[in-house]
Structure 1
């Protein structure tokens, strides 16, 4: 099996620890364990007393009943048997693709996007058609173009909603039309849903709630601000979930007793987490918009209160070389757009701690003045 290097992860692995102002990520400012405990009803003493009494066995292989109960509340009419705990959404996506994609299958994937969604199918021997996002269409792909890509033998359509790195959102109407197209040929839809929009009044349905062959993946890493526990999940119809169980035995035993407990605690107190994160997103997006309006060398299709944004830079320099110089000279970390096959752009994670964002943007503007 041959697979391309994972562009974004490869970049972050090399440069992330060198940053003074890390505005490259897509998590909403990560919570400390102390902050997590304070979100719920337990004192620190009570929280750690429960942890201290946990037996360090494998725990609940598919995720504890508490975990599954909390995840089920995120969906409509989902049974606990349809939920499988995974090692982050990365593990959930991998499991779905590993279980369903075979050599010669036809897969359609939104492109560019999270690289798993097209390069894992390629590595498994599938024929992958790329469904291009369009900047002039607010970074959404065209449903008409999708109709031209779909074949009678299309096995799966892969999407990332909301989208990484642009923050674009496929709304209910878009998703319903997508489902209608997929249903005509019986294709699965795999939807990576880790970037839940926090825009007031904007409710985006999970694909598993819209379509009998929809597969939803998610995790605590982005919207819930706890990437450190490495806990995600996949939800599908009962038949597909049963298939996933077989393949999951080859990729994962359990997430870990401590991680499951912390994940369950976060989800049980998700309203407090989401209230905290809406404040961060609202405040930081306003800062970002103000900065873009004042910065002549930057333009942006604004994200829908999603924790990632994708700026266009008007500079006479190759984007990765620019980002390396920016990091070395100013300590500001971005992800260059060529890592998403979109040069002249960069991922800017505006949901970093607010002070980090403000100082990082100021340093970036100062660096851009060399081109004036």
Structure 2
């Protein structure tokens, strides 16, 4: 089994601690525990009084009943028994791919997106075809191309909705057409749905649309709690039963404390989502205004998801540019070559607004330093 280096994570692991202006990450500005307590209306004394009376055993192996109930309420047709808690969305994706993909399978992967979704199936011996995103199609891949790629033995289609790095969203009509294509050969659809679209559109979860649809999500991006490493899988009872056996090999439990904090957040998600909708809306306006005033930058506006993919007018390779931007100006972005796109950078615009404004101003300085 061979896995290439994880391009984005390798870049962040090497450089994020050196940044003064981190506009690379695509979580929505992380909450402190104090902020979470304020939003939920639960005091720290109440929370920790419950915590100190709990045994630090393995807890609920698949997630506590309250956690599973809170997660299932995010879906239209998913019951608590159809939820499996995981170690973040990364753990959820790995579990699904490990359990369902075998050597010789045909897998179609939305490309580029989260690197797990194509490199793990390949490492398991699957034949992986890239379903390429198209800038001229607002960064969506073409459904007619998918029809040409589908085979009678296609085992799985992997998507990332909203997309990392572009912030493009497959809407309800698009997803229904995708389900029709997948069902023609009985393929699973694995949808990494960790990025929320805050523009009010009805974007259904794939698990609500398709019996072989598998929805993956976590607290890391939409709910601003990447530090607790809690995610989940939602799918049909048949799929979840398949995953249960493999889950014992990949994860015992997420942890008593993490489960409690995740449950608190999900039970008060409306307050968190209102806070985060404000951040996304206001910060995207900052980024859009900068794009309008910066002649050497352009983008396809993301669908109010927390990731954006910005095209830069530069002469040097984008990784060299990004490294010198960090070294000389303290600004961290993700170079687009990490997604196989030269001349682009991923900007996570949902950081504190003063960081975003300063980082973009420094980026402009870098773009014009030879003028």
TM-score range, shorter chain: over 0.9
- 1:218 equivalent in structure 2: 217
| Displacement after TM superposition at 1:40 (Å) | 1.3
- Provide Cα deviations, 1:172-218, integer angstroms capped at 9, x if missing partner: 0100000000001000000000001011x312000000001000000
Are positions 1:263 and 2:262 aligned together? yes
For the residue of structure 2 that corresponds to 1:243, the secondary structure is: helix
Q: Which moved more, 1:270-279 or 1:76-85?
A: 76-85
Aligned residue number for residue 304 of structure 2: 305
Deviations, residues 71-110 of structure 1 (Å, cap 9, x unaligned): 0000012121110000000000000000000000000000
In the aligned structure 1, how far is the partner of 2:223 from the partner of 2:102?
33
1:157-180 deviations in whole A, cap 9, x for unaligned? 000000000000000010000000
Unpaired stretches in structure 1, ≥5 consecutive residues: none
Where 1:360 maps in the other structure, the secondary structure is: helix
- Distance in 2 (alpha carbons) for counterparts of 1:54 and 1:227: 23
TM-score, with normalisation over the residues of structure 2? 0.99
Would you say how many aligned residue pairs link Structure 1 and Structure 2?
371
Does residue 103 of structure 1 match 2:97? no
Match of 1:345 in 2: 344
Q: Is residue 2:130 matched to residue 1:142?
A: no
1:314 aligns with 2:313: yes
Deviates more, 1:33-42 or 1:117-126: 33-42
Separation in structure 2 between the aligned mates of residue 46 and residue 213 of structure 1, nearest angstrom: 41
Structure 2 gap segments, 5+ residues each: none
1:236-247, aligned counterparts within 5 Å?
A: 236-247=235-246
Q: Whole-Å Cα distance in 2 between the matches of residues 247 and 219 of structure 1? A: 19
Which TM-score applies when normalising by structure 1?
0.99
1:294 maps to 293
Q: CA offset at residue 297 of structure 1?
A: 0.5
> How far did 1:11 drift?
0.4
- 1:9 equivalent in structure 2: 9
Paired residues for 1:162-173 under 5 Å: 162-173=162-173
Aligned to 2:250: 251
In the alignment, which residue of structure 2 is the partner of 1:359?
Answer: 358
Residue 85 of structure 1 corresponds to which residue in structure 2? Answer: 85
What is the SS of the residue equivalent to 1:59?
coil
1:271 Cα deviation after fit: 0.2
* TM-aligned CA deviation for residue 53 of structure 1: 1.5
Q: What is the CA RMSD across the aligned residues, in angstroms?
A: 0.7
User: How far does the alpha carbon of each residue in 1:113-162 deviate from its partner, in whole angstroms, 9 at most, with x for none?
Assistant: 10000000000000001100001110000000000100000000000000
What's the counterpart of residue 26 of structure 2? Answer: 26
Aligned partners of 2:61, 2:198: CA distance in 1, in Å? 31
Q: By how many angstroms is 1:371 displaced? A: 4.2
Structure 1 residue 285 displacement after superposition: 0.5
1:41 offset after TM fit, Å? 2.6
